[in-house]
Structure 1
């Protein structure tokens, strides 16, 4: 019985494909309405066949903090945790400014980044 159901679905899809091809290039949307039911019109709980929803990420939001970092910082004093968060921002800014300067970076330009990295390690952020 399962094989006949699969053949029926295959035939239905072929018919739908043929109908779509005969519409002179017009795209036809096919909705899956149930386990074995398809329709040209939207149906309750149905979804478009062949269309996967795109993952939308908001790049303006900071990424979620890694659990390992959160666990490591949980043992720190509140002042040290606050300093670690400030160092996170400072390290990114320093790296960004060095990248913006390109090949014209000198050792004096790199020293603020080195100091921030040293403090980051000392705090065990």
Structure 2
């Protein structure tokens, strides 16, 4: 059975402003309340997570994530209302496009595709 998997990336210049990994990071920040906890949950370094958040905050008209400085109680991070709206629109767009697999173009591609790849053709001259 063929399947369609779309990977949607929105660009701001050469920078990816939003994509599947960044959306998942935003979800993790919402769930865990900090960039460091979100990074741990995603098996990612804090530095990598922070760089992704920084890129997102630089690419949109308003920040998607706001942080509070660490203290004895620890710092935190949360999505702004704008960030939640951007995430919701991104997820809705992904769902809408993912549901387009019943279109004639996809059906034609699926009919032309094998269920599994052929054995390696390396060395084949035909």
| TM-score bin, normalised by smaller chain | under 0.3
Give the structure with the higher percent helix: 1
* Higher Rg of the two aligned structures: 1
The TM-score normalised by the length of structure 2 is 0.28
Q: Larger strand proportion, structure 1 or 2?
A: 2
What's the TM-score once normalised by structure 1's chain length? 0.28
